[in-house]
């Protein structure tokens, strides 16, 4: 009965076979984005931030989450109002000379994301089975690609998301089990500071939270429900529900990200130990999980890598289909080539990574470098009455969005100036 009810609720707003995306309706668009909050790249950047700078970079988590709520809700507007995802809207409205570079850079961002997810899974297999990181990464890539290409992700996604969520709850629960300097943490959450040498970590944390591929994917999931032809009342109601979904999901992500930084600060920074290995970071779970912490941490890392690499692959499909001017369909040649190309690109990049932990951190910095491109294009589209009609961004929202884009651009400039 429940399955039938879901089918009736979703089927009325869904047209055509969209292989791979149906499962996302079951977990909610906001929660889908939150899966990216606890992917291997986030684990690495949060551990690096907390162990190296203590509570001093918590403000980046706060700022990034606020920016993320605004950006994700804004791109969801695009999907709900127009019935087009961000990639499709780019293909329809951008000049050809602008379209290809924008979507090509977005696809490369998907590859960088994929590299972090697959590499994190490879590190997990090394911790569990002693496999070489590159061999483990290839196995994770093959498994994730198979789940996407066969459209069978739905058979395992509940277990993956459930287990990864359990680890997220463990990070939150452990806050009560370690000695936290809450006064310093409170200051760190709201007072911006750039300690010497922190630019790369700041930009990496930003890129690990506000991910370009999630903007494309969120709009794809939202638009596939097709509310645009159901009248203003339905659209406005859906916009309100979507904001609640996004706000709640991003709030959960903020809490988990903050907990990781705080645990690293309390466990490692206070002892003068800088984390440069995810296996080392497993020690943060020992107060709750004891001697089994390393293996449980590694299993969660593996499942996080699988879950997030699948969603990164979906984003790559969305972008590659947009380049071809087509909708997402995993059985279409352009869509399937988009999946294969992203995984192969990620594996090639991993072959040149000397230090896996550094590779994870810098992959997130690369995401931040692409982010201004996606954000400025998104602002242009969602501010255009030709695209959005009466739902185009107002002056105040447009100003906030431009400010976000400028903040990201300035932080990237600081990183590049210090490189």
The 10s digit of each residue's pLDDT in 33-44 is 666 667 788 888
| DSSP labels, 223-291 | HTT--TTS-HHHHHHHHHHHHHHHHHHHHHHHHHHHHHHHHHHHHTGGGT-----HHHHGGGGHHHHGG
pLDDT at 39: 77
Q: What is the mean pLDDT of residues 217-227?
A: 72
pLDDT at 231: 65
In-domain check, residue 11 = no
In-domain check, residue 378 = yes
In-domain check, residue 193 = yes
Note whether 102 and 216 are within 8 A (CB). no
Q: Which of 58, 302, 372 is nearest to 187 (CA)?
A: 58
Q: What is the mean pLDDT of residues 9-33?
A: 48
The domain in which residue 305 lies consists of 19-418
pLDDT at 30: 61
Q: Write out pLDDT tens, residues 118-143.
A: 999 999 999 999 999 999 999 999 99
pLDDT at 10: 39
The span from the CA of 60 to the CA of 207, in Å, is 10
Task: Give the number of domains in the chain.
Answer: 1
Q: Which pTM does this prediction carry?
A: 0.83
Q: What is the mean pLDDT of residues 16-41?
A: 57
Residue in the block written with tokens 């009810």: 5
Residue 286 has pLDDT above 90, yes or no: no
The span from the CA of 28 to the CA of 19, in Å, is 17
Q: What is the mean pLDDT of residues 73-93?
A: 89
Residue 246 has pLDDT above 70, yes or no: yes
Please give the structure tokens belonging to residue 365: 């910095």
Band of pLDDT at residue 70, cut at 50, 70 and 90: very high
Note whether 215 and 109 are within 8 A (CB). no
The angle formed by the CA atoms of residues 280, 308 and 58, to the nearest 5 degrees, is 55
Note whether 61 and 256 are within 8 A (CB). no
In-domain check, residue 6 = no
pLDDT at 41: 82
In-domain check, residue 208 = yes
CB atoms under 10 Å from CB of 288, counted, come to 16
pLDDT at 161: 65
Band of pLDDT at residue 6, cut at 50, 70 and 90: very low
Q: Which of 312, 343, 313 is nearest to 330 (CA)?
A: 313
In-domain check, residue 332 = yes
The span from the CA of 235 to the CA of 220, in Å, is 16
Residue 382 has pLDDT above 80, yes or no: yes
Q: Write out pLDDT tens, residues 301-329.
A: 888 888 888 888 888 988 988 887 777 77
Band of pLDDT at residue 210, cut at 50, 70 and 90: confident
* H or E element that contains 95: none
pLDDT at 359: 85
Can you state the angle between helices 356-382 and 58-82, rounded to 10 degrees? 40
Residue of 231 and 171 predicted with greater confidence: 171
Rg (CA), the chain: 20
In-domain check, residue 172 = yes
pLDDT at 62: 95
CATH of the domain at 51: 1.20.1740.10
In-domain check, residue 9 = no
């Amino acid at each position: 009965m429940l399955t039938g009810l879901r089918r009736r609720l979703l089927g009325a707003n869904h047209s055509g076979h969209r292989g791979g995306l149906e499962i996302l309706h079951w977990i909610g668009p906001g929660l889908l984005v939150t899966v990216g909050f606890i992917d291997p790249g986030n684990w690495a950047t949060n551990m690096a931030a907390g162990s190296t700078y203590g509570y001093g970079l918590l403000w980046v988590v706060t700022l990034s989450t606020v920016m993320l709520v605004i950006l994700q809700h804004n791109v969801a507007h695009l999907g709900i109002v127009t019935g087009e995802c961000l990639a499709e809207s780019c293909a329809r409205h951008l000049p050809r000379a602008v379209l290809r570079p924008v979507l090509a850079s977005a696809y490369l961002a998907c590859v960088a994301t994929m590299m972090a997810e697959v590499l994190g899974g490879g590190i997990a297999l090394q911790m569990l089975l002693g496999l070489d990181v590159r061999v483990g990464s290839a196995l994770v890539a093959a498994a994730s690609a198979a789940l996407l290409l066969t459209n069978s992700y739905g058979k395992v996604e509940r277990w993956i998301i459930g287990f990864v969520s359990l680890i997220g709850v463990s990070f939150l629960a452990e806050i009560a089990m370690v000695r936290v300097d809450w006064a310093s943490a409170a200051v760190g959450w709201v007072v911006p500071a750039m300690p010497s040498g922190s630019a790369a970590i700041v930009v990496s944390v930003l890129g690990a939270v506000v991910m370009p591929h999630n903007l494309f994917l969120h709009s794809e999931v939202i638009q596939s429900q097709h509310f645009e032809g159901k009248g203003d009342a339905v659209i406005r109601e859906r916009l309100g529900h979507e904001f609640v979904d996004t706000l709640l999901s991003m709030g959960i992500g903020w809490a988990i990200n903050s907990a990781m930084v705080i645990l690293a600060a309390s466990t490692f920074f206070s002892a003068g130990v800088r984390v440069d290995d995810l296996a080392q970071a497993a020690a943060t779970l020992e107060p709750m999980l004891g001697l089994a912490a390393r293996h449980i941490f590694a299993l969660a890392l593996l499942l996080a890598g699988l879950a997030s690499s699948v969603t990164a692959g979906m984003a790559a499909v969305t972008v590659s289909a947009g380049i071809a001017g087509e909708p997402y369909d995993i059985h279409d040649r352009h869509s399937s080539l988009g999946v294969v190309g992203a995984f192969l690109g990620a594996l090639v990049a991993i072959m040149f990574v000397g230090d896996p932990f550094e590779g994870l951190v810098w992959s997130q910095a690369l995401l931040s470098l692409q982010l201004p491109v996606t954000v400025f294009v998104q602002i242009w589209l969602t501010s255009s009455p030709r695209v959005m009609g009466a739902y185009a961004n107002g002056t105040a929202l447009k100003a906030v969005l431009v400010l976000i884009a400028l903040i990201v651009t300035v932080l990237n400039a600081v990183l590049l100036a210090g490189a």
